[in-house]
Amino acid sequence: MKTHYRAVVIGGGVVGASVLYHLSKFGWKDVCLIERNVLTAGSSWHAAGGFHALNADPNIASLQAYTIDLLSEIERESGHSVGMHMTGGMTLAGTPDRWEWLQSAYRTFQSIGIEDVHLITPEEAGERCPIMSTHGILGGMWADREGYVDTTGTVHAYAGAAKKYGAEVIERNRVLELNQTADGWEVVTEKGTIQTEHVINAAGLWAKQVGRMAGIELPVSPLNHHYLISDTIPEIEALDYEIPLTVDLEGFTYVRQDQKGMLLGIYEVDHQHWMMDGAPWEYGFELQQEDPDRIERELTLGFERYPVLQNVGVKTWVNGAFTFSPDGNPLVGPVRGKPGYWCACAVMAGFLQGGGVGKSLAEWMIHGEPEADVFGMDVARYGDYAGNKRFIKETTGQFYTRRFVMTYPNEQLPAGRPLRMAGAYSDMTSAGCRWGASWGLEVPLYFAPEGFEETPTLKRSNAFDLVAEECRAVREGVGLLDISGFSRFELSGDGAGAWLDRIMASTLPGPGRARLAPMLSAEGKLKGDLTVFNWGDGTWWIMGSYYLREWHMRWFHDHMDAGVGIRDISDATVGFSLSGPNSRAVMERLTDGPIADLPFMGCGSFDLGLIRAKVGRLSVTGELGYEIHCGAAEHIGLRKLLLKAGEGLGMREIGFNALLSLRLEKSFGIWSAEFTQGYTPGQTGMDRWIAWDKGDFLGRDAALAERDGNGPDQVIATLKIDAEDADASGYEPVWQDGRRVGFVTSGGFGHTVGSSLAMAMIDRDLAVEGTVLSVHIVGAERAAEVIAPSPYDPQGQAMRA
């Protein structure tokens, strides 16, 4: 062991070994891995080792596909067998809704280019797995590249290949302390102290403690997970092939062959946390006592699905812990305020996702950003609120229990809620507000009469007509929306303007004006679709998506200049928006200031009743509108003030479901749909906001190369879809004459224009008005047509009125 390394990976499981492999393969040779015991001594050794294609986040599904391809490569490079069994795999559906969801998921895989997946009948499922009862099965999804690996062999293959590239593996050496230095980190171990630029927390069951060594409270917790391995099963012994990896979603089980028996794994509803503050340091190759009584229901379902298990004994029980995050996805990336500290934690499906995690993290460290959009596993998707122990327990437990339970897109889950509530939350609830959650904050979805219950569905919900009424109010009168769920950053200092001019690709607004502002990475990818306010008194605001608060603050922090102060005021400053032809009349009833003179995209301070508010004249609904910002303690009063002023003007409170419909009618994109860090300005139309003739700005060279080159292969277009009872939502494939030409980025129903609408990333030559296409919606192919942007008020006269 040396005293200096460029990077130190803490943790000798599959994730740590993958990170080491990718760093060394991509060119960083002076790197080491430190393991407190020996490789695999944690969760890796007892993992079931299965790999499959399915993931709710298509970007993570793509990284899983990368991992599957990588396994044979590391076997060749290292000379260590990974024990790959490419058996193929099935995911089974036993309810009509689940079968619809599986058909929809199949089309999602097509959208992201995974072609080895297709739907199968119950009879085909029975033929592929003859030891299985097909009773109650409606259909399934087959994937060619599913199976399992030898977990210990795979970890040693990653590590062995890394050593051939020059990396070092140091076992039986526990990390005792982490101390931040001017040049990086001091890693104090049992065998001595190491100086390093970068430290990577891949500590698995010990990630919590390794986080705390750096003053970080990571939202992770281990939970116990059962599987059993049967004795030899004569029916399997008689087969001349291995049974496929099979997931029975209604039974909460997965199975694979194990020698001539079966491995039956269970995601039990009655979950059990274990050592929430991290595993004991001496823990390694131990297991917890099995608890068949706690998993009796799931065991019964498993033995009914696979009757052959009823005739043999159980050879081995495994009840071991894996580490989970609140949403079940990994926690990867840098931590704000801790330069050189990187996370690679909570990878509960390490043998499926470990390769993608290692690749993305290594690219991030070496090149400044990963090739893929990895926000779904970025540690910055959570804030300090997620470090609360009860929040962690509720959310990780909810994810585990619902691992095989279907979640509908319009379903609101209860764990960790309500946490943050704007001041008028109780009053709005009394008025019928139904709530969703964004980064711990309750945000309004729609308003409903007492006793109304929304039915979870993949199709149009029974709240459809309620949302239509809210949209109508905006178009004909005025809609009142709680906009506490937007992020707000306040900038000050002599250098604030110059810093903004460098970090934003747009022209900056003049005093008393606001402007839409794309923000780019050095590689020319989007880092934000933001709004910049120049209040005219030396202070500036940046507004964006609430759930990106930590993600954006980390970006600002990493690119900050001297002489600039930045403050996240999102909790201290809240507000409401008014949208609709009568919104100006409401404002005029409240202020004697020159509100009528405020131009489109203007901003200023106004007295509204007793409240001194900051007001911007803008709206994402496509109507005349105002965003009104006040202190958190004034939120209740502002709502009452606005409702009173709106009497007789057709005012109605609305939620974000209506906003979705209204903005689709204007072809306005949103982050995580039309705009992501995987897209460029040219793809998304954000290039129209770039100030090409201004001085240097972050990402300028890459953006110019795109503009002056051949341009993007695909661009965003607006589609009108011949839908019946369901609308597109995202990642549905778009076709022309049987050829896949793109995918939906977001969709919904345009209540004003009376059409099902979608925005889609499609081949550039097809993004022409009148092009005939088709889209799969909840598994059914529907006719579609490219239409001109902004089907409602294409000239924008309403919002500029």
- ∠ CA 103-104-108 to the nearest 5 degrees? 120
Of 660, 693, 724, the position where a domain reaches its end is 660
Residue 525 confidence class, pLDDT cut points 50, 70, 90: very high
Does residue 638 form part of some domain? yes
For residues 244 and 279, membership in a common domain is answered with yes
String of DSSP letters for 326-354:
TTSS-EEEE-TT-TTEEEEE--TTHHHHH
CB-based contacts of 330: which residues, under 8 Å, 6+ apart? 344, 345, 346, 347, 348, 353, 357, 377
Whether the bond between 418 and the residue before it is cis, its omega within 30 degrees of 0, is yes
Residues 46 and 140 reside in one and the same domain: yes
Is the pLDDT reported for residue 239 higher than 80? yes
* pLDDT value for 114: 83
Which residue range forms the structural domain that includes residue 288?
4-332+340-364
> How much is the pLDDT for 59?
79
Mean pLDDT of 556-560: 97
Task: Tell the burial category of 201 from Cβ atoms under 10 Å away from its Cβ (0-12, 13-18, 19+).
Answer: buried
* Residue 713, amino acid: D
Q: Is the pLDDT of residue 234 over 80?
A: yes
CATH of the domain at 37: 3.50.50.60
Closest to 793 in 3D by CA, of 550, 401, 475: 475
- Which among 608, 634, 660 is the end of a domain? 660
Tokens of 501: 């001019």
Q: What is the pLDDT of residues 573-582, one digit of tens each?
A: 999 999 999 9
430: in domain: no
Q: Are the C-beta atoms of 79 and 66 separated by less than 8 Å? A: no
Name the helix (H) or strand (E) containing 237: helix 234-237
9, 91: one domain: yes
Are 114 and 190 in a shared domain? yes
CA distance 210 to 776: 46
Query: Per the domain annotation, does 494 fall within a domain?
Result: yes
From residue 369, alpha-carbon distances to 308, 362, 372, 524, 525 in Å are 50, 9, 9, 11, 10
Residue 648 sits in the same domain as residue 694: no
pLDDT of residue 58: 76
The domain total for the chain is 3
Using DSSP's 3-state secondary structure scheme, residue 538 falls into: coil
pTM over 0.75: yes
pLDDT at 646 over 70: yes
Looking at the predicted structure, is the pLDDT value of residue 593 above 90? no
Are both 722 and 619 inside the same structural domain?
Answer: no
Res. 430: pLDDT tops 80: yes
Mean pLDDT value of segment 699-717? 96
What value does the mean pLDDT of the chain take?
96
> Tell me: the pLDDT tens digits for 736-749?
999 999 999 999 99
CA distance 797 to 801: 6
Asked if residue 737 is part of any domain, the answer here is: yes
Whether 680 maps to a domain, the answer reads yes
Which string of b and e fits 491-529 if b means at least 16 CB within 10 Å?
bebebbeebbbbbbbbebbeebbbbbbbbbbeebbbbbb
Residues 518, 500: Cα–Cα separation, whole Å: 11
Rounded Cα gap, residues 281 and 258, in angstroms = 31
Answer whether 399's CB lies under 8 Å from 326's CB.
yes
User: Tell me, what's the pLDDT at 56?
Assistant: 66
pLDDT at 798: 95
481-505: pLDDT as tens digits: 999 999 999 999 999 999 999 999 9
The pair of structure tokens assigned to 236 is 């399997």
| 353 within some domain | yes
The whole-number average pLDDT for the span 470-475 is 98
The 10s digit of each residue's pLDDT in 89-142 is 999 999 999 999 999 989 988 888 888 899 999 999 999 999 999 999 999 999
d(CA 211, CA 213): 5
Residues 169 and 56 in one domain: yes
Q: Which of 245, 289, 295 is nearest to 267 (CA)?
A: 295
pLDDT (tens digit per residue) in 603-626: 999 999 999 999 999 999 999 999
Asked, for residue 390, whether it belongs to a domain, the answer is: no
Which of 349, 364, 379 terminates a domain? The answer is: 364
- Can you give the pLDDT at residue 60? 82
**CATH code at 682?**
2.40.30.110
Q: Do 1 and 194 touch, CB atoms closer than 8 A?
A: yes
Same domain for 682 and 621: no
Q: Is 769 in the same domain as 651?
A: no
Phi and psi torsions of 273, nearest 5°: -75, 155
Q: Percentage of the chain surpassing pLDDT 70?
A: 100
Both 686 and 742 in one domain: the answer is: yes
CA neighbor of 528 nearest in space, from 390, 325, 698? 698
Same domain, 79 and 210: yes
CA atoms within 13 A on the CB side of 347: 33
Q: What is the pLDDT of residues 366-398, one digit of tens each?
A: 999 999 999 999 999 999 999 999 999 999 999
> 546: domain CATH number?
3.30.1360.120
Residue 76 has pLDDT above 90, yes or no: yes
Q: Which two tokens stand for residue 20?
A: 């080491």
Instruction: State phi, psi for 290 to the nearest 5 degrees.
Output: -65, 155
Residue with tokens 């079966």, as numbered in its chain: 262
**Would you call 539 helix, strand, or coil by DSSP?**
coil
Sheet holding 253-258, edge to edge: 117-120, 139-143, 89-93, 245-248, 253-258, 261-266, 221-230, 314-324
In a domain, 414, yes or no: no
- Is 504 in the same domain as 560? yes
Q: Which of 480, 466, 481, 432 is nearest to 751 (CA)?
A: 466
